[in-house]
Structure 1
Amino acid sequence: MCTFNLFSQEHEKEEGRHYISITFAQTFIPQGSNMDNLNHKGHLVPGIGFDYLYKIKPRFELGIMADFELGRYIIPHKEDLVRDHAIVLVGVATYTLMPNWNAFVGGGMEFEKHHNLGVFRIGTEYNFGIGNQWSIPVGIFYDLKEGYDTWSMSIGLGKAF
């Protein structure tokens, strides 16, 4: 019993404080329309994300999420809001709800050549461990932006070190 506890404590010390991941996402924009069909409401945009998290306490991390949208769409308003391959940078704080399951919240900016927007993000992510501190993160998050909102689902590959 004592040997097991000692081993367990050593294992915890070996866990990395840093975590990086690359993710592939689908983002649903309820107010969005395809550039070719403004009557169609709701638009899906694929994206790639890069995340970096730094563990400051056993259940608390700070980090940055960088997402690159791989599409072009429009948000019809009085003044149409065109979005063309936007880049979203968000600073986040995460809290570990259970082993491998985090909730996060943060804010940042969406950068795009026509107009930059503020972003508030809230979401959750579950990491399926695959060995040697590698994991498959699966997440869902909501972005509240100036003028429109989005829902995203993502899956990727991550590494703690």
Structure 2
Amino acid sequence: MCSKILLVITAIICSGVVYAQEGSSATETEESLKNCHRLTLSISHSHIKEGLKNESGLTGITVASWALDYDYWFSNHWAIGLHNDMLLENFSVATERNDKEEEVLERSYPVASVPVLLYKPWKHILFLGGVGGEFAKGENFMVYRVGTELSWPINKSWEIGVSATYDMKKSYDTWLIGFGISKLFHR
């Protein structure tokens, strides 16, 4: 898990170095993101490698999910946000506890809420990372989230995008691939 986090941090730092060599990419025709609020509604599929398909012990499930994200851009390249998503099913995951015995963990419509930091080095791509929680009946988990998003403006106030995020948790990890629409509120 630590190697995955280091890999993502290294990629973000390297992209910042590359950006520093290019200079500012904002042109006079682009809309400034500074002091902009963004609200995004996404539908996604969450892949859970440790998820149990049936009683035979086969693992790997995909669960539909919704996301509602809020971001505040305090510069043209940096933002803070609160990203929230809800998996739309009950499911079971196989976990290993301290004694290395496998245990089945039941999850009931888990909701994740993660404060994130976003970095947008180029016009259509951004990177994000944060730490938050996943809440469900039974047990709650701390969530470490990293991801990327590609977005394209429809007009001055709307954009569409695709995202890929990876959530690392104590008992299981989740890949989310989503499609969303965003409303921008410029000041």
**Per the shorter chain, which TM-score range?**
0.7 to 0.9
The answer for the alignment partner of 1:8 in structure 2 is: 28
Kept in 2, the 8 Å contact 1:15–1:160? The answer is no
Deviation at 1:138, TM superposition (A): 0.5
Which portions of structure 1, spanning 4 or more consecutive aligned residues, are displaced by more than 6 angstroms? none
Find out whether 1:39 has 2:57 as its counterpart. Answer: yes
Q: Which amino acid aligns with 1:61?
A: A
Find out whether 1:64 has 2:59 as its counterpart. Answer: no
Q: Which amino acid aligns with 1:45?
A: V
More strand by share: 1
Deviation at 1:32, TM superposition (A): 0.7
Find out whether 1:83 has 2:107 as its counterpart. Answer: yes
- The percent of aligned pairs where both chains have the same amino acid is 28
> Larger deviation: 69-78 or 150-159?
69-78
The answer for the alignment partner of 1:3 in structure 2 is: none
The answer for the alignment partner of 2:40 in structure 1 is: 21
Kept in 1, the 8 Å contact 2:35–2:74? The answer is no
- Equivalent residue of 1:49, what SS? strand
Kept in 2, the 8 Å contact 1:128–1:137? The answer is yes
Deviation at 1:14, TM superposition (A): 8.1
The correspondence for 1:116, drawn from 122, 131, 140, is: 140
Alpha-carbon separation, structure 1, partners of 2:115 and 2:33: 26
Deviations 1:102-145 (A, max 9, x none): 00000100000111000000000011111132011200011000
Unmatched runs of 5 consecutive residues or more in structure 2: 1-26, 96-101
Q: Which amino acid aligns with 1:18?
A: H
Unmatched runs of 5 consecutive residues or more in structure 1: 1-6
Q: What is the RMSD computed on CA atoms of the aligned residues?
A: 1.9
**Shift in CA distance, 115/38, structure 1 to aligned 2, threshold 3 Å:** farther
TM-score (structure 2 length as normaliser) = 0.76
Q: Which amino acid aligns with 1:19?
A: R
Kept in 2, the 8 Å contact 1:15–1:133? The answer is no
Deviations 1:14-50 (A, max 9, x none): 876100010000000001113x435221010000000
- Equivalent residue of 1:97, what SS? coil
